[in-house]
């Protein structure tokens, strides 16, 4: 017969929500860290394939939540709000030991505020970029979040000063990506010649990103191919839906003849194989940095969203490598500046600058070391403390 302690462990449920690929990865790693401590725990909520591999029962597909930009959410607001309300009601009716929101603050912080008011401990994994823009959100965070898990070292002091319990866990990507990437193995796996010059295009995993960046990225590839026809172009796609959407945009723009090979998933191999990367702003820029690759960062959204957002920033950088370095170590092209010609010229400069590439690799190696912790164990221990399973 099972002991009462074993029975309690099996009765523990944890609710989690991720709304994007990066959050799915982060939450899955947290779940893997929790599993040895809570072997019988039930995980439920909303998540993607990596979370489901760890045992999550997802009530709706994660893609249902994925929206980018301030105004882009308006047509889908009622749908997404309805999902949030139904999940809230279900969790309040059958409370989990804790709710864990993996990034996706627009959805998760509002849900966390309601759940915490209803007596459910709330943990938010990945701080909103209050140090970059909308710093006033710290007031809502203080109401909504029982414990904040942060992945950049400078964030811990911000939350301590605001009176929000916080734990710095390091960045999971720093553990997942080797300090010395195996370029040859990645090229062999992708069927690319070892002596080829490779440019990886990463216009984003979300439809909103692809809508604005797929065409200029592929148009930039055409300009680069005109300079060097031997260049190899690859672009990882997050899924079949993204592949089809991206292909449609490229075909409509008359760029179907540009030799860009779309790769299903395997984004890390595509980055490791690259000599330079053209990448959408977001978590992917940090992945590229951890692979020690030169990059050009681009960002485009709906014009109305951009007009609001560009007046709300506190610092001159949007790319994570530049934010962490506190300077422009790689170029950024935002909104109207992200033209095919500008992007192609910037990538070409990186391809044609061996000493600059070496210097950048050293900077990124130092960055990698600063983010390296046992994040799965550190985040799991923080969750266990919140739910009273660890002192």
Over residues 212-228, the pLDDT tens digits come to 899 999 999 999 999 99
Q: How large is the average pLDDT for residues 345-361? A: 96
Report the pLDDT value the prediction gives residue 7, as an integer from 0 to 100. 47
Contacts 24+ apart (CB under 8 A), 150-159: 150/126, 151/26, 151/126, 151/127, 151/371, 151/375, 152/127, 152/324, 152/371, 153/370, 153/371, 155/127, 155/131, 158/127, 158/130, 158/131, 159/127
Residue from 51, 53, 59, 60 nearest 21 by CA: 51
Q: Which residues contact 9 (CB under 8 A, 6 or more apart)?
A: 38, 39, 40, 41
Positive or negative torsion for Cα 74, 79, 80, 85: positive
Q: What are phi and psi of 56, to 5 degrees?
A: -70, 135
The residue whose two tokens read 């966390």 is: 112
Q: How far is CA 330 from CA 46, 286, 299, 320, in A?
A: 35, 12, 14, 10
Q: What are phi and psi of 88, to 5 degrees?
A: -55, -50
The residue whose two tokens read 């990506």 is: 177
Domain boundaries, the chain: 4-170+373-389, 183-371
Tokens at 341, concatenated: 């010609």
Report the pLDDT value the prediction gives residue 1, as an integer from 0 to 100. 44
Residue 84 has pLDDT above 50, yes or no: yes
Residue 206 has pLDDT above 90, yes or no: no
Residue 307 has pLDDT above 70, yes or no: no
Report the pLDDT value the prediction gives residue 10, as an integer from 0 to 100. 56
pTM strictly above 0.85: no
pLDDT (tens digit per residue) in 61-80: 888 776 655 555 667 778 88
Q: Which top CATH class is 4-170+373-389?
A: alpha beta
Residue 205 has pLDDT above 70, yes or no: yes
Q: Which residue has the higher pLDDT, 318 or 259?
A: 259
Beta carbons within 10 angstroms of residue 389's beta carbon: 17
Q: How large is the average pLDDT for residues 369-383? A: 93
Report the pLDDT value the prediction gives residue 32, as an integer from 0 to 100. 94
CATH of domain 183-371: 3.40.50.2000
Domains 4-170+373-389 and 183-371 share a fold: yes
- Percent of residues, the chain, with pLDDT higher than 70: 90
Q: How large is the average pLDDT for residues 227-247? A: 93
Tokens at 309, concatenated: 């957002």
Q: How large is the average pLDDT for residues 30-47? A: 95
Mean of the per-residue pLDDT values of the chain: 90
Report the pLDDT value the prediction gives residue 92, as an integer from 0 to 100. 98
Q: How large is the average pLDDT for residues 232-251? A: 92
């Amino acid at each position: 017969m099972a002991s009462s302690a074993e029975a309690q462990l099996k009765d523990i449920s944890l609710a989690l929500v991720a709304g994007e690929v990066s959050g799915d990865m982060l939450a899955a790693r947290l779940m893997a860290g929790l599993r040895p401590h809570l072997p019988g725990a039930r995980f439920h909520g909303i998540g993607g394939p990596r979370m489901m591999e760890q045992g999550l029962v997802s009530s709706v597909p994660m893609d249902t939540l994925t929206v980018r930009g301030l105004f882009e959410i308006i047509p889908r607001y009622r749908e997404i709000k309805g999902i949030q309300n139904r999940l809230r009601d279900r969790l309040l009716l059958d409370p989990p030991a804790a709710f864990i929101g993996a990034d996706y603050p627009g959805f998760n912080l509002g849900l966390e505020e309601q759940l915490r008011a209803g007596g459910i401990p709330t943990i938010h994994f990945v701080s909103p970029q209050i140090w970059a823009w909308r710093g006033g959100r710290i007031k809502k965070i203080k109401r909504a979040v029982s414990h904040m898990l942060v992945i950049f070292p400078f964030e811990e002091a911000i939350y301590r000063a605001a009176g929000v319990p916080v734990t710095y866990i390091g960045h999971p990507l720093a553990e997942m990506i080797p300090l010395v990437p195996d370029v040859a193995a990645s090229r062999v796996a992708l069927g690319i010649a070892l002596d080829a010059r490779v440019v990886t295009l990463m216009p984003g995993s979300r439809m909103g990103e692809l809508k604005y960046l797929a065409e200029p990225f592929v148009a930039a590839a055409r300009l680069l191919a005109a300079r060097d026809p031997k260049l190899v172009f690859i672009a990882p796609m997050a899924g079949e839906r993204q592949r089809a959407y991206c292909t449609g945009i490229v075909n409509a723009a008359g760029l179907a003849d540009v030799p860009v090979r779309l790769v299903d998933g395997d984004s890390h191999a595509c980055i490791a194989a690259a000599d330079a990367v053209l990448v959408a702003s977001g978590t992917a820029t940090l992945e590229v940095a951890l692979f020690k690759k030169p990059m050009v960062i681009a960002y485009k959204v709906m014009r109305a969203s951009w007009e609001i957002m560009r007046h709300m920033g506190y610092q001159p950088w949007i790319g994570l490598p530049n934010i962490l370095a506190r300077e422009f170590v790689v170029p950024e092209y935002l909104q109207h500046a992200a033209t095919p010609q500008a992007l192609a010229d910037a990538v070409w400069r990186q391809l044609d600058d061996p000493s600059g590439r070496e210097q950048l690799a050293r900077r990124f190696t130092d960055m990698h070391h600063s983010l390296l912790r046992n994040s799965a164990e550190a985040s799991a221990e923080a969750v266990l403390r919140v739910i009273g399973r660890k002192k």
